[in-house]
Structure 1
Amino acid sequence: MTDSQTNPLPPLNIVVLAGGESAEREISLQSGETVSQVLSSRGHQVKTVDPSLVDLDEYDWSNCDVVFIALHGTYGEDGTIQSTLDRLGVPYSGCDAATSKLAFSKSASKERFIQHNVSTPSYVLIHESDNAQRIEQHARSMGYPLVVKPDAQGSSLGVSIVQTPEELPQALARCFHYDSFGILESAIKGTEWTVSVVDGQTLPLIQIQTPHEFFDYEAKYHEDSTQYLFEFELPTNVIQSIIKTGVNACEALGTTGIVRVDLLLDRFQQPWVLEVNTIPGFTDHSLVPKAAAKAGIDFGELCERALAECLTKAAQKPHN
């Protein structure tokens, strides 16, 4: 991203939505607190509202210019809160309800990736009511190792890499703890990468290195040994291929605002998209702020960009 400076926003009345009742509540509260502090420091009037404690239909929105959504996981990323705010006529950061719902479902987003020729690991959609033998049959036909994931969940919660058939039942139990639907996904052995996209422009690419088997919840939030690299010993065309695949994934889903694409690079230097996060973490140690800082964009400017984009869209909407 070459344009590292934008005009600061005039003072606004901002509501930051954080918390909620999802399994990612703890991370959401951290994101919300960080965003609230930095927006307040830039001269805005900021209120943090937790939808699990406040009825948004009863809330007085008359003095709110815009909402910054820092709700991760179910309700925040699946289109529910976006639909509520649309009904209330309140502008908000990030993707619209339909795109959020699409991106939050791994199976639905994979189908869209396949339609748009975006490389993504092959998968089978499963349900907790499925016959165990049928799931085992799917797993055998895919081959081990494979990955078991909840269909709609974030922060790698409920995700397992399954090396043998004996490990499958425990992985399924973990998956179905978080969602009634899950996916069996072909395991791609390779390095982990993330592409951050802000209003269609990419931030510097990050390679993630962790001593864990994969970039799981502990590695994301509690592990000091996780490394985030901006320098790579890779040919330029491979780096460009990772970035282009990330951008193509965003275009396939129709995302707007600030999103993060998680990918794997296999031993043949082929990138594979795992998922697109429409509300990435916004703590000071999160990946998108790290990439923004590398591009010379401070945290406050990043947050304002998220709001400027949605305010522009809101101003362009026809008024009845």
Structure 2
Amino acid sequence: MNIVVLAGGNSTEREVSIASGQGICKALRERNHRAVMADPYFGMEKLEEDLFPAEYDIEEAAEKMRKESALLEETMKSRRGFFGSNVLALCEKADIVFLALHGSNGEDGKVQSVLDLMGVKYTGSNPLSSGMAMDKGITKMVFEANGVPTPKGITLEKGASSRLIDYGMEFPVVVKPCCGGSSVGVFIVKNEAEYAQALLEAFSYEDKVVVEQYITGREFSVAVVDGKAYPVIEIAPIEGFYDYKNKYQAGSCVETCPAEISASLTKEMQHYAEKGYEALKLQAYARLDFIMDEEGNMYCLEANTLPGMTPTSLIPQEAKAIGMNYPQLCEKLIEVSLKKYQ
């Protein structure tokens, strides 16, 4: 197949996206697909005559994107539109676009909407489901309405009352941007002073934040592919919680797959992962994150519709536990995504 791997973009998760795209592109080439990388934001100066060449330098393409990252802040000040030159024309020529974008303008359904209007096939969920899952406030409401356990929480807008007592909550709480990703701008706060500072910083990312009751416990994640849960993986940060640094700095976490929990707890968590996936009307694949307290009560925190896809990311580790290597997984995600178009 001729495949465009879209990576980069202009979100706070740009660098992680480039790493995902690089791994995916290499894996698909190993499976004899003619995959190429493209950055939807910076685009490309021109379209080559051979859009999907037999020989392709993935490292060179990724390095070009990383160099352009230095221009991101200034470019965003001077540009109104999202898509760079020629990238959509390239996508039109592909059999499918593999979305390796993370965070805003990629995971939130906006790029998916454009591709839908163009009649271009792509991996992952449709625009509506992507948008719902990206908004942690909406996700929480959907989970509560569909019997998926989730921590008590509220969505705050700038200027609204932020007193916890008004919402029947007490410290400690978690404060996080409503639509952020990779735990950017997430704070665990224990008192009023920390709470005020956390709100200030979280509101610097966007105009809505989620405040939820902090649950002490073990952290887990479950991939759901084509509606079926993969093995549970446990993430144990060596220090702190599963924040941006711990997610992407090598050696910051101990990741165990399958997780060392009982068969009944495993089955229960997989059930809630599938239920959360269904409630949000997700498609193809997603990753749902959980926390479980000492009594075995589990809470679904969020759903990631375009989760990290480097060879050592969580979903590849879960796939490996059932005998599926990384290139096979990348091909599987294309296969299940194409079901949307049947």
TM-score by length of 2: 0.84
Q: Find the counterpart in structure 2 of residue 204 from structure 1.
A: 231
Counterpart CA distance in 2 for 1:256 and 1:65 is 19
Structure 1 unaligned regions, length at least 5: 1-11
Counterpart CA distance in 1 for 2:167 and 2:259 is 36
Q: 1:198 to 1:232 in 2, by over 3 A?
A: closer
Counterpart CA distance in 2 for 1:61 and 1:18 is 13
Counterpart CA distance in 2 for 1:232 and 1:277 is 19
Q: 1:49 to 1:237 in 2, by over 3 A?
A: same
Q: Find the counterpart in structure 2 of residue 5 from structure 1.
A: none
Q: Find the counterpart in structure 1 of residue 274 from structure 2.
A: 247
Q: Find the counterpart in structure 2 of residue 32 from structure 1.
A: 21
The correspondence for 1:103, drawn from 108, 127, 133, is: 133
**Residue 178 of structure 1: SS of its match in structure 2?**
coil
Contact 2:237 2:246 in 1 (8 A): yes
Matched, 1:77 2:66: no
Query: Cα distance, 1:46 vs. partner?
Result: 1.2
Q: Find the counterpart in structure 1 of residue 246 from structure 2.
A: 219
Q: Find the counterpart in structure 2 of residue 117 from structure 1.
A: 147
The correspondence for 2:181, drawn from 140, 154, 157, is: 154
Structure 2 unaligned regions, length at least 5: 44-83
Identity of matched residues, %: 36
**Residue 285 of structure 1: SS of its match in structure 2?**
coil
Counterpart CA distance in 2 for 1:210 and 1:62 is 42
1:88-121 residue CA offsets vs partner (Å, 9 max, x unmatched): 1000000000000000000111111111011111
Query: Cα distance, 1:173 vs. partner?
Result: 2.0
Q: Find the counterpart in structure 2 of residue 3 from structure 1.
A: none
Q: 1:181 to 1:73 in 2, by over 3 A?
A: same
Q: Find the counterpart in structure 2 of residue 192 from structure 1.
A: 219
Q: Which amino acid aligns with 2:188?
A: I
The correspondence for 2:30, drawn from 27, 41, 46, is: 41
Query: Cα distance, 1:57 vs. partner?
Result: 7.2
Q: 1:311 to 1:136 in 2, by over 3 A?
A: same
Q: 1:272 to 1:18 in 2, by over 3 A?
A: same
Q: 1:230 to 1:97 in 2, by over 3 A?
A: same
**Residue 119 of structure 1: SS of its match in structure 2?**
coil
Counterpart CA distance in 1 for 2:5 and 2:265 is 38
Aligned length: 301
Q: 1:231 to 1:84 in 2, by over 3 A?
A: closer
Counterpart CA distance in 2 for 1:89 and 1:156 is 33
Counterpart CA distance in 2 for 1:229 and 1:288 is 12
**Residue 222 of structure 2: SS of its match in structure 1?**
strand
Alignment of 1:1-320 (within 5 A): 12-54=1-43, 55=84, 59-130=89-160, 134-138=161-165, 141-230=168-257, 232=259, 234-314=261-341, 316=342
Counterpart CA distance in 2 for 1:273 and 1:58 is 36
Q: 1:257 to 1:312 in 2, by over 3 A?
A: closer
Query: Cα distance, 1:164 vs. partner?
Result: 1.0
Q: Find the counterpart in structure 1 of residue 70 from structure 2.
A: none
Counterpart CA distance in 2 for 1:177 and 1:32 is 28
Counterpart CA distance in 2 for 1:87 and 1:294 is 38
**Residue 335 of structure 2: SS of its match in structure 1?**
helix
**Residue 291 of structure 2: SS of its match in structure 1?**
strand
**Residue 162 of structure 2: SS of its match in structure 1?**
helix
TM-score by length of 1: 0.90
Counterpart CA distance in 2 for 1:39 and 1:24 is 22
Q: Which amino acid aligns with 1:26?
A: E
**Residue 59 of structure 1: SS of its match in structure 2?**
helix
Query: Cα distance, 1:268 vs. partner?
Result: 1.8
Contact 2:107 2:305 in 1 (8 A): yes
Query: Cα distance, 1:311 vs. partner?
Result: 2.3
CA-atom RMSD in angstroms: 1.6
Counterpart CA distance in 1 for 2:207 and 2:39 is 26
Q: Which amino acid aligns with 2:328?
A: E
Q: Which amino acid aligns with 1:25?
A: R
